[in-house]
Amino acid sequence: MSNDHLCHSPRCKMPIPPRLFACKGHWFALPAAMRARLLATYRRGQEVTKDPSPEYLEAARAAVEYLRGKGY
């Protein structure tokens, strides 16, 4: 695994595979509906082609803000 992709939780430095949004702990810190939205808007391979949908980017932004607000 490359160490250049980290969990998207603002304070986390855990390296994770590029296809993942967050490390296990921070993934499950998100509300189920937020996780479902990220999964529903994820397009397989977007981490390779670097072209996530606007819907995914909005879901990711909301998830990062949620984690930031919780102090993660």
Range of the domain at 28: 24-69
Q: In a 3-state reduction of DSSP, which class is residue 15?
A: strand
Assigned domain for 32 exists: yes
Tokens of 50: 């670097």
Which pLDDT score is estimated for 17? 97
Reading the chain (72 residues) residue by residue, the pLDDT tens digits are 446 899 999 999 999 999 999 999 999 999 999 999 999 999 999 999 999 999 999 999 999 999 999 999
* pTM given for the model: 0.90
The predicted pLDDT at position 3 comes to: 60
pLDDT at 1: 45
- Count of domains for the chain: 1
Check if the beta carbon of residue 16 is closer than 8 Å to that of residue 5: yes
Q: What share of the chain is helix, strand, coil (3-state, %, to 5)?
A: 45, 5, 50
Q: What phi and psi values does residue 10 have, to the nearest 5 degrees?
A: -50, -35
Q: What is the pLDDT of residue 34?
A: 98
In one-letter notation, the amino acid at residue 60 is: A
Establish if 58 belongs to a structural domain: yes
DSSP state of 4: T
